[in-house]
């Protein structure tokens, strides 16, 4: 339907397979970012004090970095030459794993800030105070009482994270730093 490229491959089929690769990278990165962001945001917001200050300063420091230049620098690093991590990056899908790890490291911060704000407002509610009064453990309060109440902003944030990740993956692949050919991706097909 879309013709063939300069090597004679069907462009439509490569577009379909490229969508699969781009969506897998985006959904895996968004899911892992959600888990990290929810844990850090919930712990920082619920416990407060020096732990909150440390975690939020780390989050602010990573948010202050310009995202695309940092992603370009991280994508240019050859993880296969690193001593401990290098064994993970030996297979054919090493560029996909590398992209997922890079996006996870640099996309959990907004979710953590969002969850922290929601937890700060929820932890002073009456149902949380009654759970503390009844002797419920802090971890059970966070998991059973607070996290179900902050689920809707997390879903919206993860949905936006998927879109941003697809765009950044396409940009890095377009520059030759993302998913490496012959694996099709929307960015390296451009």
Q: Tell me, what's the pLDDT at 82? A: 72
Q: Tell me, what's the pLDDT at 173? A: 85
DSSP assignment letter at 146 = I
C-alpha 112 chain-centroid distance: 11
Digit-coded pLDDT (tens) for 121-154:
888 888 888 888 888 888 888 888 889 999 888 9
Are residues 178 and 95 in contact, defined by beta-carbon separation less than 8 angstroms? yes
Q: Tell me, what's the pLDDT at 125? A: 87
Give the length of the chain: 190
The segments of the chain whose pLDDT lies below 70 read 84-93
Q: Tell me, what's the pLDDT at 159? A: 93
Q: Tell me, what's the pLDDT at 160? A: 92
């Amino acid at each position: 339907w879309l013709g063939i490229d300069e090597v004679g491959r069907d462009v439509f089929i490569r577009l379909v397979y490229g969508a699969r690769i781009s969506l897998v990278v985006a959904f895996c990165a968004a899911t892992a970012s959600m888990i990290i962001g929810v844990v850090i945001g919930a712990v920082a917001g619920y416990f407060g004090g020096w732990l909150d200050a440390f975690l939020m300063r780390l989050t602010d420091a990573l948010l202050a970095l310009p995202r695309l230049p940092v992603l370009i620098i991280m994508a240019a690093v050859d993880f296969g030459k690193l001593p401990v991590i290098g064994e993970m990056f030996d297979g054919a899908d090493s560029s996909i794993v590398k992209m997922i790890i890079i996006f996870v490291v640099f996309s959990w911060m907004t979710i953590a800030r969002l969850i922290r704000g929601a937890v700060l407002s929820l932890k002073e509610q009456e149902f949380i105070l009654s759970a503390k009064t009844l002797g419920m453990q802090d971890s059970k309060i966070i998991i059973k009482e607070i996290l179900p109440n902050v689920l809707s902003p997390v879903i919206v944030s993860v949905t936006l994270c998927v879109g941003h990740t697809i765009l950044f993956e396409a940009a890095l692949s377009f520059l030759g730093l993302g998913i490496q050919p012959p694996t099709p991706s929307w960015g390296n097909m451009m």
